[in-house]
Amino acid sequence: MKVSETNLPGVLVVKLDVFDDSRGCFAETYHKDRYAEVGIDIEFKQDNISRSSRGTLRGLHYQIEHPQGKLVQVLHGEIFDVAVDLRRDSPAFGQWTGVRLSSESMRQLYVPPGFAHGFYVLSETAELWYKCSDLYSPQHERTLLWSDTQLGIAWPLDTPPLLSEKDSRGVSLADAECYESVVC
Tell me which residues are annotated as active site. Answer: 61, 130
Q: Residue 133's closest CA among 116, 113, 115?
A: 113
The C-alpha atoms of residue 154 and residue 175 are separated, in whole angstroms, by 21
Residue 88 Cα distances to 92, 109, 153, 174, angstroms: 9, 22, 19, 12
Sign of CA dihedral 37, 107, 131, 182: positive
The C-alpha atoms of residue 86 and residue 101 are separated, in whole angstroms, by 22
Task: Categorise residue 24: left if φ over 0, alpha if ψ from -120 to 50, beta otherwise.
Answer: left
